[in-house]
A = this chain, B = another copy of it.
Amino acid sequence: MQSSWPEAGTPLDQVSTPMPVIDEDRLEANISRAQAYFDQHGKGLRPHIKTHKIVAVAEAQRAAGAIGINCQKVSEADVFAQAGFEDILITYNILGAAKLKRLRALHERVPRLSVVADSTVTVDGLAAAFDTARPLTVLVECDTGGKRCGVQTPEAAAALAAHIAAAPSLRFGGVLTYPAAGGAEAVEAFLRRTMALLADKGIDCPVRSSGGSPDLFKAHLVPSATEHRAGTYVYNDRSMVRAGECTRADLAMHVLATVVSRPAEDRAVLDAGSKTLTSDLLGFSDYGEIDGFESARIVSLSEEHAVVDISACREDFPPIGGQVRIVPNHTCVVSNLFDRMVFHRNGVVTRVEDVAARGTVW
């Protein structure tokens, strides 16, 4: 009784709002286009499932040619392991007895499981939790400008790689970077220098993994990388249009919303608030773009309301009860708010999928 998801065949204008919806054709095109680019450049594409958290979408990415998947949490990886995924990289420092125990159980079931580390603390915890009978593959996370996690220099990367290689219960798998800033040249320089240092030590570095959807179609500018990790490209969002990585015609996710109030001449209120869109701005000054009403601005959100400044389009803007489609600033966080996701083709619902890896606890 609590939830009423639309059935296949329902036209989108009869879907109860607020509701994110995924365009099947655009989803397929986004998966194909990215995979074709990586195939052309002879590089592996490893989709990050954080964007969709849906088994069927990851299966489509794998069927297109993805070399494996990327998860951020052990509990997410569990979901995909149960669905039969055999190559899973968890790009996180995994710490603490409870998570290490679950990671070990996961390692028993996944043929090719790997994780990352950026400190000896993380590496030593992993080393103690695994054994020589079945060593765990560990990559070194490198900070090439993202200023999040990661060792700071190629020298530190090589030293940590040697520390991993020296642990009998671990296997050094390579290096990884999340280059949110710094550009391709900085990433390439970091990787090259690290590979040279590792060669001097006689340590093989089979995987060099770059990442990020905003850099997806620039991945060939990092020739030393063997694979690239990306999530957002599968749905795309307003931030990806701004980055020039896609056009509006490639936006697979929209959020359906209803005009619930027109309280003042220049103000409309929608039923999609921060519990639908999140407050992620990603550098924008408003909370999403309303398809077909680009001069309207979503100026504030409360939990279940969006306040829209319609001063530039007040005559054209839909009346109370009308439905609009919002292009979210950031798709990955919208997925994380809904237990299921509605798909459609040409405006008619095709299926509803569980967002199976949402809300999982380590």
Contact, CB under 8 Å: B321 / A339: no
- The stretch among A202-210, A233-241, A271-279 that forms the contact with chain B is A271-279
Indicate with 1 or 0, residue by residue over A318-342, a CB within 8 angstroms of chain B CB atoms: 0111000000000011001111100
State the A residues within 8 Å of B (CB).
Answer: 1-5, 14, 16-17, 19, 50, 72-73, 75, 78-79, 82, 92-93, 95-99, 102, 118-119, 121-122, 125, 143, 147-152, 258, 260-264, 267, 269, 271, 274-275, 278-281, 302-305, 307, 319-321, 332-333, 336-340, 356-357, 359-362
CA A280 to CA B275, docked complex, whole Å: 11
CA A260 to CA B267, docked complex, whole Å: 44
CA A263 to CA B267, docked complex, whole Å: 46
CA A260 to CA B125, docked complex, whole Å: 12
Contact, CB under 8 Å: B151 / A320: no
Specify which chain B residues have a CB less than 8 angstroms from the CB of A1 in the assembled complex. 78, 82
Nearest residue in B to A356 (C-beta to C-beta)? B2
Nearest residue in B to A362 (C-beta to C-beta)? B16
Known: A95-B260, A102-B4, A262-B119. A359 touches B336 (CB 8 A): no
CB < 8 Å neighbour of A121 from B274, B320, B338, B361:
B320
Specify which chain B residues have a CB less than 8 angstroms from the CB of A16 in the assembled complex. 96, 98-99, 361-362
Oligomer: number of copies = 2
Contact, CB under 8 Å: B336 / A275: yes
CA A112 to CA B340, docked complex, whole Å: 32
- 7 closest A-B pairs by beta carbon, nearest first, are A121-B320, A149-B261, A279-B279, A16-B362, A3-B361, A93-B260, A16-B98
Nearest residue in B to A276 (C-beta to C-beta)? B336
Contact, CB under 8 Å: B360 / A2: yes
Q: Tell me, rounded to whole Å, the shortest Cβ–Cβ distance linking A86 to chain B.
A: 17
Contact, CB under 8 Å: A269 / B361: no
Having A3-B361, A16-B98, A93-B261, one finds 11 other A-B pairs with CB under 8 Å, namely: A1-B78, A2-B360, A4-B102, A73-B304, A122-B320, A125-B321, A147-B267, A150-B261, A152-B264, A279-B279, A279-B333
Contact, CB under 8 Å: B95 / A303: no
Contact, CB under 8 Å: B321 / A121: yes
Contact, CB under 8 Å: B3 / A360: yes
